[in-house]
Structure 1
């Protein structure tokens, strides 16, 4: 990628970290079944926090908020809070939660790769990776709490990238009751790639709570369309959402632009 999370200056990230502490809190919608922690368990946790260091979770400090749809059932949608680490210029890994507080539940994982790495994958593997350009250009994907200039630079670095996302806990499906504990098989999640694929109220609820506007971010990122290339998977779920949808200029399916 020409630009990644690393392109944001150190001082900007420090400032972002301070601002992130002021983000509106999204509490976990589920309190897992089970007994309350004992004093002994809490003491063991406190000791571990002091003595056990160098956790692989510590570098996962880039916070993104977006939406996923079940690839096999696109009407099943939810908000996902991503905490990510940029491993190198072409690869990032994220843990997904149903909230952004310490009580949030771990619901899945997402790997993010550059266009270069995606093109190196076997054709059979590519079916698992969803495109990101619509999420960025539409304003649906946000980095809460960081200055606008830093957020836009971050999003610029993710243009033409792809994500592979598995959810393992159906804790907070929009408009439906979630499960108290992880049940069943993992589900492969997909991205939105046209307007009106998101269920009515899904984005609006997030925007109101987080005090952001996806439409404003769409306007602010309009110039990023010049960087957008046709991507695989844009039309993978076309026609499978509950209602009519509308294309967003700049978001095109690779097959549609290179028919065989």
Structure 2
């Protein structure tokens, strides 16, 4: 039987690529600096009997002996916001834990917080613009655009210095995401719909104009995380030069009649 590597060796050998980039771009800064806890909105979910001691021991033993490569391949954390495409009154902050498979394809697990008790509530896959354009026309309607999320400053990499954050998000410009939410554990202004992941999956969408996100949701995130979205917007303004028109920018426009402008570079295709 293969001798398991020590946790210290695993940590060093599998240091996420983004963490390495952060250390190179911003020496002297920790990749985790400035990240604030975001507990799930409904910490009591799901119901069930508390873990027994033998269950915890079995889990720890399995963790030490098993190869958990798919999970340890997660290499970056994105914090952003979603609105459900067929239910535009459903808004929430979404914590994405992602693996960059290659330069054009990323896959993410979505949680309702960033603490140990956070719940898995969905999945997102991210495609580059060229890969998106190769999809069948009927499939393209399920993929939301990302340029507003980046240029507005709403999408962040918590704990990553601004120079590395901008470099990482530059690579996501003109990309598209397909996101399914599987469990409503509580969203803006509303308690959990159910304490278990029941019901049909919901297709999530992106915001594409100022005023679409409900008042207070963005501000609450910024207060908790100690960041200034308006400042990030200014810092990223030059990325508009590489922004292409995107499909999906106007898909929810009629549902947000009070929405106003968008940053330069956010245009409908």
In the alignment, structure 1 residue 249 sits paired with structure 2 residue 261: no
* Matched position secondary structure for 1:217: helix
What's the CA shift for 1:181? 1.5
Q: Which runs of 5 or more structure 1 residues have no equivalent in the other structure?
A: 255-260
> Once the two structures are superposed, what CA deviation does each residue of 1:21-70 show, in whole Å capped at 9, x if it has no partner?
65111112223111111111111111111011233011112010000000
Structure 2 Cα separation of the partners of residues 52 and 70 of structure 1? 37
Change over 3 Å in CA distance of 1:22–1:44 after alignment to 2: farther
Structure 2 Cα separation of the partners of residues 142 and 12 of structure 1? 19
* Matched position secondary structure for 2:253: coil
The residue aligned with 2:11 is: none
Aligned Cα root-mean-square deviation (Å): 2.1
Structure 1 Cα separation of the partners of residues 227 and 82 of structure 2? 19
For residue 52 of structure 2, the aligned residue among 38, 44, 47 is: 38
What's the CA shift for 1:242? 6.5
In the alignment, structure 1 residue 9 sits paired with structure 2 residue 8: no
For residue 239 of structure 2, the aligned residue among 215, 224, 237 is: 224
For residue 105 of structure 2, the aligned residue among 53, 68, 91 is: 91
Contact 1:70–1:187 at 8 Å: present in 2 too? yes
TM-score if structure 1 supplies the norm length? 0.90
For residue 199 of structure 1, the aligned residue among 214, 218, 228 is: 214
For residue 26 of structure 1, the aligned residue among 18, 38, 46 is: 38
For residue 79 of structure 1, the aligned residue among 90, 93, 109 is: 93
TM-score if structure 2 supplies the norm length? 0.88
For residue 166 of structure 2, the aligned residue among 149, 152, 156 is: 152
Change over 3 Å in CA distance of 1:100–1:21 after alignment to 2: farther
In the alignment, structure 1 residue 65 sits paired with structure 2 residue 57: no
* Matched position secondary structure for 1:75: strand
What's the CA shift for 1:11? 3.3
Change over 3 Å in CA distance of 1:248–1:239 after alignment to 2: farther
For residue 137 of structure 1, the aligned residue among 108, 128, 151 is: 151
Contact 2:127–2:175 at 8 Å: present in 1 too? yes
Contact 1:165–1:190 at 8 Å: present in 2 too? yes
Q: Which runs of 5 or more structure 2 residues have no equivalent in the other structure?
A: 1-16
Structure 1 Cα separation of the partners of residues 27 and 101 of structure 2? 21
* Matched position secondary structure for 1:84: strand
Contact 1:28–1:104 at 8 Å: present in 2 too? yes
Structure 1 Cα separation of the partners of residues 28 and 199 of structure 2? 37
What's the CA shift for 1:213? 1.1
Structure 2 Cα separation of the partners of residues 34 and 13 of structure 1? 45
What's the CA shift for 1:224? 0.4
> Once the two structures are superposed, what CA deviation does each residue of 1:165-196 show, in whole Å capped at 9, x if it has no partner?
00001012111011321121100000000000
Matching of residues 229-244 of structure 1 within 5 Å:
229-241=244-256, 243-244=258-259
After TM superposition, the structure 1 stretch with the greater mean CA deviation from structure 2, 46-55 or 163-172, is: 46-55
Change over 3 Å in CA distance of 1:18–1:59 after alignment to 2: farther
Contact 2:174–2:246 at 8 Å: present in 1 too? yes
The residue aligned with 1:111 is: 125
* Matched position secondary structure for 1:11: helix
